[in-house]
């Protein structure tokens, strides 16, 4: 070992990766008295702060403001086509990131007592990591390196300029014609945002858009984007990508016919890949696949001293899952308490307009698995607050199992991401739908959609002929 690498740090926990999950472990463990080393090779805050959740929602907020001006005539307000200063939009996005960044900064974590090393990390053996010319020997390690945009093997893509979510938010000029490869949440959110900010947008997907979501709910989102002018092409094969003058061109096979689509810019939003390169996981006896690090239900790798959390663990790729994983690891690593990850009640939200939120089983999944169930639903069009705000698209759909237990819920409509939490609680705590139906919802609020959906479960029996007979019989004795 050279003199440059002879400096050894001893720690209780060494966290590799300064994204949301890694930061949660580091902050929590340090404040509870553990010796913590945190290694981050790029930007603290990870993908969520710098390239994902935060900038995308900031851009969507700008797009929502533009759309509010554009559509305000429906309220009797002077609606008109807004003027978009895209440089100022970019500054707004970057300003939101900058406002949050100090909370995730190396300085803050050093103030908490964490030793922060800003360098790449690699395992030397089962108990040692090298980073920035220092060796870290720790009782436990946490791999929290996240994921990066997956680049599909499309002919010509490597020779063609394109955006991913890691580069899109640095753009300071309005995009004339944007082509989006991928109809998942990221692709559709960015398609709608740019359309509302003045771009022509085409979305290309090999299957149906939002394929993981309830098909009926996904259609609501797809149709809204289509109504706003986004050209969505589903079930197409991308044959090649190439430069076209100062822009790009994508050749697709659609319905047996070849079509060439030209644009000024290309966004690739075709999934994610786990960040495992350069970690030398083999040296530590840690198994992994292209999906990510192999973990058990306690988030332990094949090296039981090492945990993996968040996107790199190969499960649901959400910031809130990484934070959930962090709590499970802290309980085990610091307090030796048995804790297992349960992903059956993980919610997710697509932040298009209208939003689409889901937790638990969909009706299609219950049907495919042979799970006995019924479906209760209520539409936004029947909700007075939605009518007042002219946001009547969408519905709440609840999957109910034996004994009235809530198995899952889907909400598509205004603020669906805010409305899904009661159903997350219901699925997590194995509540019966009567618990939601009997709650008092303030009027007029969108939250009544959930209460009324729950109440709809009881409608067939409550207003049945049998009930009528019982009521008529009891009335004879009053």
Q: What letter would DSSP give residue 90?
A: H
pLDDT for the residue 118: 97
Looking at the predicted structure, is the pLDDT value of residue 324 above 60?
Answer: yes
The answer to the question of whether 20 is labelled as a binding residue is: no
pLDDT for the residue 300: 98
The answer to the question of whether 182 is labelled as a binding residue is: yes
Whether domain 3-44+105-148+273-335 has CATH 3.50.50.60: yes
- Going by C-alpha positions, the residue among 57, 64, 9 that lies closest to residue 36 is 9
Compute CA distances 45 → 48, 95, 251, 266, whole Å: 7, 15, 37, 26
E strand or H helix at 202, and its extent? strand 200-204
pLDDT for the residue 3: 40
Provide the CATH number for the domain formed by 157-270 in this structure.
3.50.50.60
The answer to the question of whether 278 is labelled as a binding residue is: no
Q: What is the mean pLDDT of the chain?
A: 95
The answer to the question of whether 440 is labelled as a binding residue is: no
What's the fold here for domain 354-462? Enolase-like; domain 1 (3.30.390)
The answer to the question of whether 152 is labelled as a binding residue is: no
Same fold flag, 3-44+105-148+273-335 and 354-462: no
In whole angstroms, give the CA distance from residue 209 to residue 37: 42
pLDDT by residue (tens digit) across 330-343?
999 999 999 999 99
User: Mean of the pLDDT values across residues 49-77?
Assistant: 96
pLDDT for the residue 478: 62
Looking at the predicted structure, is the pLDDT value of residue 179 above 90?
Answer: yes
The answer to the question of whether 464 is labelled as a binding residue is: no
Looking at the predicted structure, is the pLDDT value of residue 289 above 70?
Answer: yes
pLDDT for the residue 472: 77
The answer to the question of whether 33 is labelled as a binding residue is: no
pLDDT by residue (tens digit) across 216-225?
999 999 999 9
Confidence class for position 6, pLDDT limits 50, 70, 90:
low
The answer to the question of whether 183 is labelled as a binding residue is: yes
Domain boundaries, the chain: 3-44+105-148+273-335, 157-270, 354-462
The answer to the question of whether 242 is labelled as a binding residue is: no
The answer to the question of whether 285 is labelled as a binding residue is: no
In the chain, pLDDT over 70 holds for what percent of residues? 99
pLDDT for the residue 4: 46
The answer to the question of whether 311 is labelled as a binding residue is: yes
User: Mean of the pLDDT values across residues 397-417?
Assistant: 98
The answer to the question of whether 104 is labelled as a binding residue is: no
């Amino acid at each position: 070992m050279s003199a440059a690498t002879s400096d050894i740090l001893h720690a209780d926990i060494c966290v590799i990766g300064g994204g949301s999950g890694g930061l949660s472990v580091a902050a929590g463990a340090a404040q509870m008295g553990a010796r913590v080393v945190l290694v981050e090779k790029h930007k603290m805050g990870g993908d969520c702060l710098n390239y994902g959740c935060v900038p995308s929602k900031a851009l969507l907020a700008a797009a929502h403001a533009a759309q509010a001006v554009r559509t305000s005539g429906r309220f009797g307000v002077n609606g008109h086509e807004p003027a978009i200063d895209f440089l100022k939009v970019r500054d707004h996005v970057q300003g939101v990131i900058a406002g949050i960044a100090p909370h995730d900064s190396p300085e803050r974590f050093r103030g908490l007592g964490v030793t922060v090393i800003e360098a790449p990390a690699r395992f030397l053996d089962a108990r040692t990591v090298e980073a920035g010319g220092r060796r870290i020997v720790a009782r436990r390690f946490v791999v929290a390196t996240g994921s990066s945009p997956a680049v599909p093997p499309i002919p010509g893509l490597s020779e063609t300029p394109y955006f991913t979510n890691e580069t899109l938010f640095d753009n300071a000029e309005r995009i004339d014609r944007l082509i989006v490869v991928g109809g998942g949440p990221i692709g559709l959110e960015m398609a709608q945002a740019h359309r509302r900010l003045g771009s022509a947008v085409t979305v290309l997907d090999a299957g149906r858009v939002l394929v993981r979501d309830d098909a009926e709910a996904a259609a609501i989102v797809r149709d809204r984007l289509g109504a706003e002018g986004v050209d969505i092409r589903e079930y197409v094969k991308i044959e090649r990508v190439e430069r076209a003058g100062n822009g790009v061109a994508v050749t697709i096979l659609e319905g047996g016919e070849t079509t060439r689509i030209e644009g000024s810019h290309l966004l690739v939003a075709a999934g994610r890949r786990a960040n495992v390169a350069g970690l030398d996981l083999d040296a530590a006896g840690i198994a992994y696949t292209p999906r990510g690090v192999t973990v058990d239900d306690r988030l332990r790798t094949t090296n039981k001293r090492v945990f993996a959390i968040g996107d790199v663990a190969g499960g649901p790729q959400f910031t809130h899952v990484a934070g959930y994983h962090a709590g499970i690891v802290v309980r085990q690593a610091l307090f030796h308490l048995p804790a297992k990850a349960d992903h059956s009640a993980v919610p997710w939200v697509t932040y298009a307009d209208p939003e689409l939120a889901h937790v638990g089983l969909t009706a299609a999944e219950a049907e495919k698995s042979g799970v006995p169930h019924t479906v209760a639903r209520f539409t936004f069009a029947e909700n007075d607050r939605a009518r007042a705000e002219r946001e009547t698209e969408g519905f709440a759909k609840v999957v109910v199992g034996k004994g009235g237990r809530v198995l899952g819920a889907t909400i598509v409509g205004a603020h669906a991401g805010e409305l899904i939490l009661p159903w997350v609680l219901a699925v997590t705590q194995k509540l019966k739908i009567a618990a939601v139906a009997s709650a008092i919802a303030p009027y007029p609020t969108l939250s009544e959609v959930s209460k009324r959906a729950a109440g709809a479960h009881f409608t067939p029996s409550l207003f049945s002929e049998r009930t009528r007979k019982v009521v008529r019989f009891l009335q004879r004795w009053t």
